[in-house]
Amino acid sequence: MTCVTIREGFVDYLTGELPAGDLAEFRGHLASCPACREELEGLSAVWTKLGVLPQESPSGALRSRFYGMLEAYKEGLGKERVRISLGQILSDWLGRLMPRRPAYQIALALVLMAAGLGSGYLMSVRSRSTARTEVAGLRGEVDAMRRIVAVSLLKQASPSERLLGVSWSARIDRPGEEIIQALLDTLNHDANVNVRLAAVDALYLFYNHPEVKEGLIDSLSRQSSALVQMSLISLLVEIRDRRAVEALERLVQDEKLNPKVKKRAELGLVQLS
Amino acid sequence: MDPISDNRLMEDVRDGKVERLAILFERHHIMLFNFFLRLTGNRSVSEDLVQDVFLRILKYRETYLSQSRFAVWMYQIARNVHVDHLRKQKPELPIDEQFDEPAAAGPDTVERLSSGEEAATLRRALDRLPLRKKEILLLSRFQGMKYREIAELMGCDIGSIKSTIHRAVKELGKIYFELQGGETP
């Protein structure tokens, strides 16, 4: 290899695109050519130096704006779909019905006029039912999107974003296993008390799911914050699950338990009996 | 289970499952934000530009062809978004000339993005590179793109990308050297 061909390969070397087969010859040339070696060292120093530029994080507002935009777009798209599908149905229907000969067309018009009043009522009932189906479909899509947003926010480093994740979770009609598990994980493992408290409130909305009841009872013994414990006790009393009695009894026996929590647990036991 | 590829997700977005864009956003928005931040030196402008990229992805989703990598298509949109931003900033200057002049107006417009004098000097040096060189260097060094992909994105041949990176690194070293007051990197 000449100095010219070696220098053409400098960028390949820096970016890791130098073919493995050329590496030995490349290094061999550098070992014997101080000029090429010096030039590569200079380029390599700059390339490496660029690594000091840190990766910055955008503010939480970017994520909120993106999801707001996505939801707005989806809503717009849903309306567009309803408009297009109704238009197409009407056009196809008329196209099939219209006879080719003018005399038949006039006859058909008269028949339609006579039938118009009677069918008007039926048509309105049908269009209402179509709209209901479309709205149900849209709700399902919005729900799916909310699930993605909520799970993603619950994984963020910032407590305020995780709080936002809990509040998105609470807006889901059909949470599914993934959201319930994410909320229970938040309740049991989140470092921030406010986020854990918010998770208790969100889980209250889904208490009719068996895994939620079980998770809440199980969580009672895991909590260290008196606030979260009291909130959980109130919730367990509210949903009146008998399995909670055992958990409360165990809690009351804990000697290190905060006196206020103990009082609340004892009251809870009375309310559940 | 392997994660779903970007291309597959974008095909779904194209075909109407627009909620899947959320996954692409989560995968790419930080890299994209940093790309714009290194181009503009301004956090809030960079966030606006990221938002604009995803808005355009939705707007033009039906034009997506899965032959090339999603990221290549996305950075093509990102470049257009950035060019439009520059047009708004300096409407009187033809865009070709903007590509030849330094990417930012000068050190005064560059925010102190994080502590570290070294990083600050490097940013100032980068801002003195002409826009095209800076874009190609950033795509190669920080966005992990291969020559072939950058060439496809910029609409030119691989040889020209290679030589641009070479010249950009050399020039950056020279500017950095000057800014450091003669101390080589």
Residue A115 within a domain: yes
- Any idea which of A151-155, A177-181, B19-23 has the lowest mean pLDDT? A151-155
Q: Report the pLDDT value the prediction gives residue B90, as an integer from 0 to 100.
A: 64
Same domain, A106 and A68: yes
The answer to whether B35 contacts chain A (CB < 8 Å) is no
Q: Report the pLDDT value the prediction gives residue A207, as an integer from 0 to 100.
A: 81
Residue A27 within a domain: yes
Among A118, A133, A148, the domain boundary falls at A133
Same domain, A67 and A121: yes
Q: Report the pLDDT value the prediction gives residue B149, as an integer from 0 to 100.
A: 93
Residue A233 within a domain: no
- Provide the pLDDT confidence category of residue B184 given band limits of 50, 70 and 90: low
Same domain, A64 and A128: yes
Among A99, A133, A167, the domain boundary falls at A133
Which of A94 and A235 is assigned the larger pLDDT? A235
- Across the range A22-48, mean pLDDT stands at 90
pTM: 0.56
Helix/strand/coil for A88: helix
- Condensed to tens digits (0 to 9), the pLDDT of residues B64-120 reads 988 888 999 999 999 999 999 998 876 555 544 544 445 443 333 344 444 478 888
Residue A147 within a domain: no
Same domain, A74 and A119: yes
- Quote the CA–CA distance of A88 and A23 in Å, as a whole number: 63
Q: Report the pLDDT value the prediction gives residue B67, as an integer from 0 to 100.
A: 81
Residue A7 within a domain: yes
Same domain, A64 and A126: yes
Picking from A43, A149, A152, the nearest residue to B169 by CB comes out as A43
Which of B182 and B158 is assigned the larger pLDDT? B158
Q: Report the pLDDT value the prediction gives residue A89, as an integer from 0 to 100.
A: 63
Q: Please, which residues 66-125 of chain B have a Cβ atom closer than 8 Å to chain A?
A: 113-114, 116, 118-119, 122-123
Residue A246 has pLDDT above 80, yes or no: yes
- Are B113 and A56 within 8 A, CB to CB? yes
Q: What percent of chain B has pLDDT over 70?
A: 83
- Quote the CA–CA distance of B92 and B100 in Å, as a whole number: 15
CA A268 to chain CA centroid, Å, is 35
Same domain, A83 and A38: no
Same domain, A78 and A104: yes
Which of B60 and A145 is assigned the larger pLDDT? B60
- Across the range B41-48, mean pLDDT stands at 93
The position carrying tokens 């290094």 is A27
Expressed as residue numbers, the domain containing A16 is 3-48
Q: Name residue B98's amino acid.
A: Q
- Are B169 and A55 within 8 A, CB to CB? no
CA A122 to chain CA centroid, Å, is 41
- Are B50 and A58 within 8 A, CB to CB? yes
Residue A156 within a domain: no
Distance from CA of B13 to the nearest CA of A (A): 11
Q: What percent of chain A has pLDDT over 70?
A: 83
- Total domains in chain A come to 2
Measured between beta carbons, the chain A residues lying within 8 angstroms of B38 are 53
Same domain, A103 and A123: yes
Instruction: Please write down the long-range contacts of A161-170, taking CB distance under 8 Å and 24 or more positions apart.
Output: A161/A60, A161/A63, A162/A186, A162/A190, A162/A192, A162/A195, A163/A194, A163/A195, A163/A198, A164/A60, A164/A64, A166/A195, A166/A198, A166/A199, A166/A201, A166/A202, A167/A198, A167/A202, A169/A202, A170/A201, A170/A202, A170/A205
Residue B180 has pLDDT above 90, yes or no: no
Q: Report the pLDDT value the prediction gives residue B114, as an integer from 0 to 100.
A: 41
Residue B127 has pLDDT above 80, yes or no: yes
Same domain, A86 and A128: yes
> Which domains are delineated in chain B?
6-179 (1.20.140.160)
Distance from CA of B97 to the nearest CA of A (A): 26
Same domain, A73 and A22: no
Q: Please, which residues 204-263 of chain A have a Cβ atom closer than 8 Å to chain B?
A: none
Residue A77 within a domain: yes
Same domain, A128 and A79: yes
Burial B25-39 (b: 16+ CB within 10 A, else e): bbebbbbbbbbbbbb
Same domain, A40 and A90: no
Residue A41 within a domain: yes
Which of A230 and B39 is assigned the larger pLDDT? B39
Among A111, A133, A155, the domain boundary falls at A133
Q: Report the pLDDT value the prediction gives residue B27, as an integer from 0 to 100.
A: 93
Q: Report the pLDDT value the prediction gives residue B8, as an integer from 0 to 100.
A: 94
- Are A42 and B147 within 8 A, CB to CB? no
Provide the mean pLDDT of chain A: 81
